[in-house]
Each structure stands twice: as C-alpha cells, then as structure tokens.
Amino acid sequence: MTNINADENLLLHSMKKPGAKRRGIAFEIVEELQEKTGAEELAALKEKSGAQTDAEAYALLLLDELPRRTMGAATDHICRRACQKVLGLSEERTEWALAYILAHPITPPPPRPLFVEEEEPQVHRHIMLKAFAAAKERGEMPEFFAKYGYSYEYPVLVKGFAGTASFFGRLRHKDGYGFTAVRRGSAFAPDGSEPIDHYELYHDQQKWGDMYINAMADEDLDIPPVDMCFGEIDETTENQIRAAREMDESLARVRAKFGL
C-alpha cells in the first residue's frame, strides 16, 4: 500500500499531554509567523498576492513553511486542512492560496538539492521524452535509463497527482514485492522550470532506496525504472488515483480562474 500522507494528528493536533490543549505543528507555525511577521511585511504580501485578509496572507506563509517543517510530508490534503482549521479559510480561498503558492513560492527553492552530484549531467523532461521516443523506434533504451527514476537529473515522468498515485500504486520490484513511498521534499530542476519530488521507498519497514518524480509531464511516460515493473491496480490504489485526479482537476480550475 502506498503511503504519501503526513500524519494529520501530528500537524493539526498535539498528543503531548492528556487533557492538554490540542495544538499541532500547523498551529505552532502560525503562532511563530504572527510573532515574527511585521505589519508592513504582511501588507506587502497582501498587495503582491491579492490576499483579501490577514488570514489569507498568513495562509500563504504557512503553505510556504509547512512542507519544509515536515520534510515535504505535508500533502495538499493536509495543507488544505491546515488553512481551513487553523486560519478559517473557505474552501475556495484555500484553493486560491494553494494555487498561488505553487506558482509563486515565497521562499525560492534551492537551484540544486544537496543530494545531487555536481558532475551529474542535466537532462530535462523534453529531452528525455525525445530520447525515449527515439530509443523506442530503435528497440532499445537510452544510455541514461539505468539512472531513470533513481536520479534527480533523470526523474520519472508522470502527469499530476493522479500520475504519481498511479505510478507508486503499481510499482513493484522485479521480484514481485511492492513499496511504501514517503515524500521527503522537492527542488526545482536545474533550469528552474519544474519541481522534482524526492521520495523514499520502503519495503518491509526498511528503506529500500530513493525515487525522483517530475509530475509536470503532459502524459505519463509509463516506463518503470530498472529492476522495477508495474503490477495490477488494487482497490486502495484506485481510490488514491480517483482522489488525486479530483485534486488535479480542482487545481486546474483554480489556476484557470485566477490566471496562474
């Protein structure tokens, strides 16, 4: 079973003491933001982003900070719940905040993550797609296929949240066993154009390795990495794909509505 969700109790509630006020990581982040964010800074953010209230401006700051504070484990669902539960945003303004922060991150991502070797060549998705298409015609795989999916420079190409859910839900080792995938963060591609998500794969509660995903492709490349294959989609995966597809459609509508 694929698990790419953070623990909602940890983020929105506290389990420290029985009977104590239940306040989780998201509440703590908002309190810190309220203490360190000046009125002028908040006003500037509202003017720049189009936020209608202070709460919406704080939501943008929260969405910028929450993925880093949780090592990338805060999914869109968790971020939505945090905006609505902690800051009282409506569903529509929560979708606006998510769409805005995806298009305009407040804290610029590093140009290259720490786990990338400097000598690694740069191959982006358009070049990769052409290379795979040409190799398919020749009946062979491109030279970089050995690193496909295992390297930040050669990420798996999927379309949106649904493509990601489908990929991990079907992913199997060639020996037949599946994985639990835990998102650990993301960084932009070397040219700054697209985010590359970093996942850790676990099997039998032990870390198996790392996998890198580019979810900005126009369609799923649908090629498993070396030593991997695709299995059948079970009911859990079907539900995850259905929910992820709704997220893709919702995000597309919000982006179109706000011109993002």
Q: Confidence band (pLDDT; 50, 70, 90) for 15? A: very low
Spatial neighbors of 63 by CB under 8 A, at least 6 apart, are 79, 83, 97, 98, 101
Return the pLDDT at 189.
Answer: 60
pTM greater than 0.75:
no
pLDDT in tens, 26-47: 788 888 888 888 899 999 999 9
Return the pLDDT at 119.
Answer: 42
pLDDT in tens, 198-250: 899 998 888 999 999 988 888 888 889 999 999 998 888 888 888 888 878 87
Most confident of the ranges 76-85, 133-142, 187-196: 76-85
The answer, yes or no, to whether residue 2 has pLDDT greater than 70, is no
Mean pLDDT lowest for which of 143-147, 167-171, 189-193, 241-245?
189-193
Return the pLDDT at 190.
Answer: 56
Return the pLDDT at 243.
Answer: 82
The answer, yes or no, to whether residue 117 has pLDDT greater than 70, is no
Q: Confidence band (pLDDT; 50, 70, 90) for 172? A: very high
64-86 mean pLDDT: 75
The answer, yes or no, to whether residue 127 has pLDDT greater than 50, is yes
- Over its C-alpha atoms, the chain yields an Rg (Å, rounded) of 20
Q: Confidence band (pLDDT; 50, 70, 90) for 137? A: confident
121-126 mean pLDDT: 57
Could you please report the per-residue DSSP string of the chain?
Answer: -------HHHHH---SSTTS----HHHHHHHHHHHH--HHHHHHHHHHHT--SHHHHHHHHHHHHHHHHTTT---HHHHHHHHHHHH---HHHHHHHHHHHHHS-SSPPPSS-TTS-TTPPP--HHHHHHHHHHHHHHTS--GGGGGTTTBTTBPEE-BHHHHHHHHHHHEEETTS-B-EEEEEEEEE-TTSSSEEEEEEEEETTEEEEEEEEETB-SS----PPTTEEE----HHHHHHHHHHHHHHHHHHHHHHHHT-
Domain positions in the chain = 8-107, 125-250
Percent of the chain with pLDDT over 90: 23
